[in-house]
A and B are shown apart, each in its own frame.
Chain A
Amino acid sequence: MFGDFFIRALVAGIGVALVTGPLGCFVIWRRLSYFGDTLAHSALLGVTLAFTMEFNIAISVFIISSLIALTLIQLQKRTNLPGDALLGLLAHSSLAVGLVVIGFLTFIRFDIMGLLFGDILAVTVDDLLIIWIGGAIILLILKLIWKPLFASTVNYELAEAEGLNPDRAKAIFTILMAAIIAISIKMVGLLLITGMLIIPAAMARNISTSPQKMVVYSIIGGLLSVILGLFSSLEFNTSSGPSIITAAFLLFIISLFKIKQTIKLKN
């Protein structure tokens, strides 16, 4: 059934969009887009390690990204540096180390463009399993921590005072971020993963009046971006990642016009 590479890419993309939709909303609400970028940059190191040790890419990226996330939390506690400086420090250090490691791996043929921008040809049946099983687990965990995570996003002290344990929810969410980057890296590429998280969610914010609606619209936006992006990628022979993100950006622009219309109607 999944013999055709294009069908595989489509199924993979739909799986990714189902997960990035709700997670992306939290990335926007909690202002974590640079955190997402940092994890994505560190993914390069994960990928190179996977190649050196002949290990599964998704799992390797997940481990490295989680380590980077934990390092960030430790650095925040131990230094007085501002958060954005720490994020930049970790993002570029891990990216640089990853590139240096690639330099040593001259014996391996490396599709670096595919790594940076995604490659639909590279999606295998194994990748599909990782995306769909991993994605289902991420969504399940997100549903379980939804209440404390959302409440502490609105107001930390209220959540803490009323016994919801927001710190635990935050730690789990950090791990989920590492996981989504790990499973979507082949589709979108590590430079554009954060775009897949925040652009459909940003589009959804423009047209939603409640958090639930925003999640639903964000998922729909992600799905449309994947479908439009992959078909145009096939048509124009472009990389899958940039095509998907461009489609998402077009949807975002359309959502802006929607707003103008409603404002006109109100007046």
Chain B
Amino acid sequence: MSSNQNILVKLKDAGFKINDKWLVQGVSLQVEKGKIVTLIGPNGSGKSTTAKIALGIYKKIEGAVEKFTNKVGYVPQKISIDWTLPLRVNDFMVLTENLKSEIIDEALSLTGVIHLKDKNLGDLSGGEFQRVLLARAISKKPDLLVLDEPVQGVDFTGEIALYKLIKKISDELNCGILLISHDLHTVMSATDHVVCLNGHVCCSGSPIDVAKNNEYKALFGEQASQILSRYEHKHDHIHTNEGKIKKN
């Protein structure tokens, strides 16, 4: 465990219920600078709820949550925007913080949607909107990024590129990332810590440890376990565009 200064958000036995029904219970986890923590679990297992507890959106919670930063970028799983608002991508980018035009352009370029800058938000496709959401979250250069299924609806090649981008952002900005994803393949290669949820924490640890865990196997099946363990080997090379191998 690294020193306390690096902790951005910490949950201790956190839980949340609506009308006496627990959405999630007994979650302990912490996100540190430069680390990616991934929440996995089946539908309704409390992943988004856990993220909202960490963000302070849910206030009447059980247990404790401590947030050590206010520079937060959030990509929610679901977002409903009211189209009574005339809102362009550019207006949406400065929604919670005023940013310089170069910084907005840079973030939109990174997620590949710079050409949509002056478009009305309501005219975007699902995948395009998802890229804008991610651009908005990273443009603030936050200490903590909370990404709830950030690449949903994005095309296959885009998905891989965006996960690479997320990893790169984590390294370059040294920000902590709390990531929620269903895509075990792409995510696990970059994750430092995995928390497997099913209404409670069923297991947690490094991707390899989680893959070996019996509860994880019971929840996701043997096949998923093999996916995770495949990432045990360390890459000493990267694959360039033409499929060539480049040594690090």
Contact = CB atoms under 8 A, between A and B. Distances in A.
B146 interface: yes
A154 B95 contact: yes
Contacts of A28: 84
A31 B83 CA distance: 12
B31 to A, nearest CB: 14
Contacts of A150: 95
Contacts of B81: 154-155
Contacts of A159: 95-96
Contacts of A155: 76, 79-81, 95
Interface in B87-117: 87-88, 90-92, 95-97
Nearest to B82: A29
A125 to B, nearest CB: 39
Interface stretch (B39-47, B52-60, B206-214): B52-60
B96 A162 contact: yes
Count chain A CB atoms within 10 A of each CB in B81, B96, B120 and give the residue with the most.
B96
Interface in A138-168: 147, 150-151, 153-155, 157-164
Given A163-B70, A210-B91, A154 B55 contact: no
A162 B92 contact: no
Q: Could you say which of A28, A160, A214 has the most chain B C-beta atoms within 10 Å of its C-beta?
A: A160
B138 to A, nearest CB: 13
Nearest to B121: A154
Nearest to A155: B79
A211 to B, nearest CB: 6
A31 B84 contact: yes
Given A163-B70, A163-B72, A157 B52 contact: yes
A213 B91 CA distance: 11
Contact of B86 (A157, A162, A213): A213
A154 B57 CA distance: 16
A71 interface: no
Contact of B72 (A154, A162, A208, A212): A162
Contacts of A151: 95-96
Contact of B74 (A29, A147, A158, A214): A158
B18 interface: no
B1 interface: no
Given A157-B57, A210-B87, 19 more contacts: A29-B82, A150-B95, A151-B95, A154-B92, A154-B95, A155-B76, A157-B52, A157-B55, A157-B74, A157-B79, A158-B74, A158-B76, A160-B56, A162-B73, A162-B74, A164-B96, A209-B86, A209-B120, A210-B90
15 contacts: A29-B82, A153-B82, A154-B85, A155-B79, A155-B81, A160-B56, A161-B52, A161-B56, A162-B97, A209-B86, A210-B86, A211-B85, A211-B86, A211-B87, A213-B86
